[in-house]
Amino acid sequence: MIEVAPRLLGAVIRHGEVAVRLSEVEAYAGPDDPGSHAYRGPTPRNSVMFGPAGHLYCYFTYGMHVCANVTVGPADEASAVLLRAGQVIDGLDEARARRPGISDRDLARGPANLCRALGLQLTDNGADLSSSPITLELGAAAAPYLTGPRVGLRLAPDRPWRFWIEGDPTVSAYRRSPKAAPIGAPE
């Protein structure tokens, strides 16, 4: 999962006429990761994470925003990569209509904003990214990237499993959860 996450940088996710080139992602290791939705095992909500690689895991955050992950592990081994940010490279007018008044840089900046720009819904949960209306195409090679702690996690906040393209303006700002233990404290 941490090997796959940087390979998604520069990849293009497409839904209908809108396409986003990914600039930022975060890795989640299932039962070995207290920050993961799959930490306590399979549930109806997270069951897609326990399926084969290459599927979309969509869920609500804060009760109203959709976020999306790509499953990256073999079946029965939950692991996924959160799609955090990117640049709209196709379907700009449609993305702007979905996020009126937002700068082009910020259309898909942040995981819920990325999903809004793409028009992803909770009903897209489980979509096969190789054969559904939602597709993911890897870039030729991983772009130069940086790594650091994941954004906003209370548990396992210091794992350096957030990956982003160096210098890309669409990368979201790092925010540590105010509920996280002090930096360097054991998990």
> Which pLDDT tens digit goes with each residue over 3-40?
899 999 999 999 999 999 999 999 999 888 998 888 88
Percent of the chain with pLDDT over 90: 68
User: What domains can you pick out in the chain, each with its CATH number?
Assistant: 5-165 (3.10.300.10)
| pLDDT over 90 at 143, yes or no | no
- 85 and 22 in contact (C-beta within 8 Å)? yes
**pLDDT, tens digit (0-9, with 9 covering 90-100), for 77-102:** 899 999 999 999 999 999 999 999 99
Strands (E), 96-184: 134-137, 145-148, 162-165
d(CA 33, CA 45): 17
- 78 and 50 in contact (C-beta within 8 Å)? yes
